[in-house]
Amino acid sequence: MNPYIAVIHRDLLLALRRKNEAMTSVIFFVVVAALFPLGISPEMSTLRLIAPGVLWIGALLASMLSLGRLFAGDHQDGTLEQMVLSSASLPGLVGAKILAHWLMSGLPLVLMAPILALQFDLNAQDIEVLTTSLLLGTPLLSLIGAVGAALTLGVRGADVLLSLLVLPLYVPALVFGAGAVQAQAAGLGASAHLSLLAAMLLVAVVFGPWACAAALRIALE
């Protein structure tokens, strides 16, 4: 069996055996999105205005929360060391792990976003743009976050540190992701934002697994 497919298969299987963990980040997303109308205003015009930012920040925090689990389990039981030692390319294996992680924690956020957007009174076109921007953006967040997760592997206070490392690097994704919806709502069209988001995703697909593999080698040295 192809080792990369095997890794994806294994990680998905592990995640499905622990459904609670996989669901936590989606539930977090839903709860956070529900807090904003309570904290700011239930006025529909206000909600439409803040919806792109709120949903994007909610998705960003939710995907960050699950990053700690990306390598921690494999680090504890020694699987990660076997991956580093194996003859398959480490960036490839890491990329497979990131893909599996995104399928279990990023994709549910994308699927949940349209429902939450209805609560914020977005219209159909805006919802479409929002979902597309999250579809391009959440894998980008996973790829950037994976580097942070690898750097903080087994470090004291890793969770808080991880957020300090990763959140500043999430800024461009947030700007273009939420900006796409705002541009669409303003009648400017979202294609420029979405293209830039896709470009960043492509760059991250090339360099992310590689940087992540380097960080894992440092952590396991």
Partner 1 sequence: MKLHPNLFRFAAPQAFYGLAGRLWPVLAFLATLLGAWGLWLGLFVAPTDFQQGQAYRIIFVHVPASWMSMIIYLAMAFWALLGLTFNTRLSGMMNLALAPTGAMFAFLSLWSGALWGKPMWGTWWVWDARLTSELILFFLYLGFMGLTAAIDDPRRADKAGGLLALVGAINVPIIYFSVRWWNTLHQGSSVSVTKGSSMEPTMLWAMLLMAIAFWLYAIVMALYRIRTIILGREQHTHWAKLELHPEGFA
Rule CB under 8 A: which residues touch partner 1? 147, 151-152, 155-158, 161, 164-165, 167-169, 171-172, 175-176, 179, 182-183, 196, 200, 207, 211, 214-215, 218-219, 221
Contacts of 106 (CB under 8 A, 6+ apart): 63, 138, 139, 141, 142
* Minimum CB distance to partner 1, residue 126 (Å): 16
| 16 neighbors 22 (Cβ within 8 angstroms) | yes
* Closer CB to partner 1, 118 or 171, in the complex: 171
CB of residue 183 vs partner 1: minimum separation in angstroms?
7
CA dist 66 and 203 (Å) reads: 23
Q: Which is nearer to partner 1, 15 or 204 (CB)?
A: 204
**Are 29 and 117 within 8 A, CB to CB?**
no
Report in angstroms how near the CB of residue 204 gets to partner 1 at its nearest: 10
- Residue 80 CB, shortest distance to partner 1, in Å, is 15
Nearer to partner 1, 22 or 59 (CB): 59
For the bound state, the minimum distance from the C-beta of residue 180 to partner 1, rounded and expressed in Å, comes to 11
Name, in order, each residue with C-beta under 8 angstroms of 215's C-beta and a sequence gap of 6 or more. 147, 150, 151, 153
Instruction: Choose between 22 and 219: whose C-beta lies nearer to partner 1.
Output: 219
**CB of residue 115 to partner 1, shortest distance in Å:** 27
Q: Which residue number, 3 or 53, has a Cβ lying nearer to partner 1?
A: 53
- Alpha helices, DSSP H, located in the chain: 3-17, 19-39, 44-65, 68-76, 79-85, 90-101, 107-119, 124-151, 158-166, 171-185, 191-220
CA 127 to mean position of chain CA atoms: 19
Nearest to 220 by CA among 64, 75, 32, 55: 75
Residue number with CB closer to partner 1 (90 or 215):
215
